[in-house]
Structure 1
């Protein structure tokens, strides 16, 4: 009896499937558009490049207290300047949360068309970003995420976890035949989620080739901090095979400490992609053999997205007629073999 019921159930399912297939076929032949028509939903590259309605974009970021942030700010200004239909209203860079909130409040009161915001503290700027969104002003969040999905129309991020993965993978490729290799890590500010993400990616990538982090110190993204942390690391570890330093700005101090200690038995990988680091990689005359890109173009990308959104345009190379609400940029490895492809976008430490 059970087998008969099962058989009948299969017949019913088969019949429904057949009817559905006929319905789909009829729909395709009778009422659907052609493939060309179905994907031609958004604006084209030519339409995006063409001058549109003039839009005012407010931009606020932290103080440019090191090279990467300086490049972030200058990149935003340069991106806005290339569009004749963009007026940029830039606030003075600040690490004072209260001052940055006030800058965003000014943008809201001035009724700008869009806001690009690299917050000094993502959580602290979330409330005012939500206020802007509720006022109908799209917010493009850059680098440091807000704590609510309602605070931004689109978010542009570097890949911190991916940086760690790229660094660990490169070191695995160089030291894969040395299972007992000593791998050291010079992190940035340990309390920051971005540092924690970079370290997690690094650890995970190393584990894939049987390596781990043998020694680790943290610095503070400054030259002085990098030199102090590296000096401590080198003193405590007489033999090292590879070092990953999270940040090329602090890497100037790291390299100074290495030179002072007269150490050269290891390879070093940097992070962020400064021009100084790339020139050293190009010269190939130091322990620095690679760096991992953390794009300083994020705010420039934010300006470009803000213009598209404010003008009602779309990301032309995507089929979906919209602008993505989250973009995570790549974290490629730069070596002497490909440094020429990246050095023009590098920032000065």
Structure 2
């Protein structure tokens, strides 16, 4: 899993980065530069902003929207591009077929777009077309599913699967730390995906901090409502008593909640994953087992458009001292519960 620097919010990516800005300010205060020197230096560093600049054509190759989160990814990219008068977005038809997506990206390369944003159906399988774009002088923003080599992209931006599990585990751990012999269960995603293994590893590592808690069962589903319902029903039948459930994905969580309701169970707390609107609404109502969800923000696609625009205009990120955008950015997996759900409600996906 690549090392990345977490940044907590989409706005912080390009226009805020308050903590970094504060650090840069403090450094400046202790230097020997005059105020005039510092002002001049600041003026020479190009930073992305909302003001119209050089026109940029961005080619976007996203996924087939067969899942709520993936549909949100495409919507975020399109909506973000629409906010910029200097951005033209060339969108391919979403595909989960690697050969088809490669062909779509090659078409964008032949059109000589200024920058490419790619969420590959399979990072390994699409690495060569990423390399082809980079060799053609087209910077690639690799979104979420990472290519096999950093040579295939200029910047990677995506979520933190290990961090999802880690933060879910710490949230549950803190809720149960006063309970002796606490028992937790896990409803994972597709076990053949590396991201599922990372989410489980983060969760297990977090639970090591709470010796009173034992994970007593784990069931893998496949990110659909139907599988969530079926696998959750199996967990409930096998485990007559437990204190908390971590479900990797809010889409399959819809099915899991159906199974929980059908079983008449309300004796545990549930933490979801990703950030679906339905999960936010249930958390806000606070009349069921779902008490929190850990974000895997689809806003990363909007951030990818911001980054692509900055690349096309030869600009850096506001709030950072560097002239260039970073090579990689990992978004933070915030925990959303009833205390902060209103803040995130507008980002929930259907």
What is the TM-score normalised by the length of structure 1?
A: 0.88
Partner of 2:229: 227
- The 3 A distance-change label for structure 1 pair 259 and 76 is same
TM (norm. structure 2) is 0.88
State the match for 1:216 in structure 2.
218
Structure number having the greater helix percentage: 1
Query: Could you tell me which residue of structure 2 aligns to residue 120 of structure 1?
Result: 121
1:280 and 2:282 matched: yes
Q: Distance in 1 between matches of 2:32 and 2:164?
A: 49
In structure 2, the residue matched to 1:84 is 85
Q: Give the alignment of 1:1-349 within 5 angstroms.
A: 34-44=37-47, 48-210=49-211, 211-348=213-350
Contact kept? 2:181, 2:214, Cα under 8 Å:
no
Displacement of 1:29: 7.7
> 1:180 Cα shift?
1.1
How far residue 40 of structure 1 moved from its aligned partner, in angstroms, is 4.8
Greater CA deviation, 50-59 or 98-107? 50-59
Cα RMSD, aligned residues only: 1.6
Q: Secondary structure at the match of 2:271?
A: strand
Please give the secondary structure, in 2, of the residue aligned with 1:290. Answer: strand
Query: Aligned residue pairs: how many?
Result: 318
Q: Contact conserved, 2:143 with 2:300, CA < 8 A, in 1?
A: yes
Larger Rg: 1
Using the TM superposition, give the Cα deviation of residue 41 of structure 1 relative to its aligned residue in structure 2, in angstroms: 4.5
* Cα distance in 2 for residues equivalent to 1:307 and 1:67: 26
Q: Which has the higher contact order (CA 8 A, sep 6+)?
A: 2
Report the Cα distance in structure 2 between the residues aligned to 1:208 and 1:133, rounded to whole angstroms.
44
Aligned 8 A contact 2:246 2:272 in 1: yes
Aligned 8 A contact 2:156 2:329 in 1: yes
Report the counterpart of residue 16 of structure 1 in structure 2.
none
CA contact (8 A) 1:42 1:315 kept: no
Equivalent residues of 1:58, 1:115 under 8 A apart: yes
Cα distance in 2 for residues equivalent to 1:181 and 1:168? 13
Report deviation, 1:60: 0.8
Secondary structure of 1:65's match? Answer: coil
Contact 1:55-1:310 at 8 Å conserved across structures: yes
Moved over 3 A (4+): 33-41
Q: Do the aligned partners of 2:165 and 2:202 also contact (CA within 8 Å) in 1?
A: yes
| Structure 2 Cα separation of the partners of residues 41 and 265 of structure 1 | 60
Contact 2:63 2:94 in 1 (8 A): yes
Distance 1:97 1:214, change over 3 A: same
Shift of 1:270: 0.4
Once the two structures are superposed, residues 225-276 of structure 1 have per-residue CA deviations (whole angstroms, 9 ceiling, x without a partner) of 1001101111110001000000000000000000111111100000001000
Provide the C-alpha distance between the structure 1 equivalents of 2:131 and 2:42, rounded to a whole number of angstroms: 33
Q: CA deviation at 1:37?
A: 4.4
Displacement of 1:63 in angstroms is: 0.5
Residue 60 of structure 1 contacts residue 91 of structure 1 at CA under 8 Å; is this kept in 2? Answer: yes
What is the deviation of 1:179? 3.6
CA deviation after TM superposition for structure 1 residue 57, in Å: 0.6
**Matched residues in 2 for 1:219 and 1:72: separation?**
22
What is the CA deviation profile of residues 179-201 of structure 1, one whole-angstrom value per residue up to 9, with x for unaligned ones? Answer: 41110000000111111111111
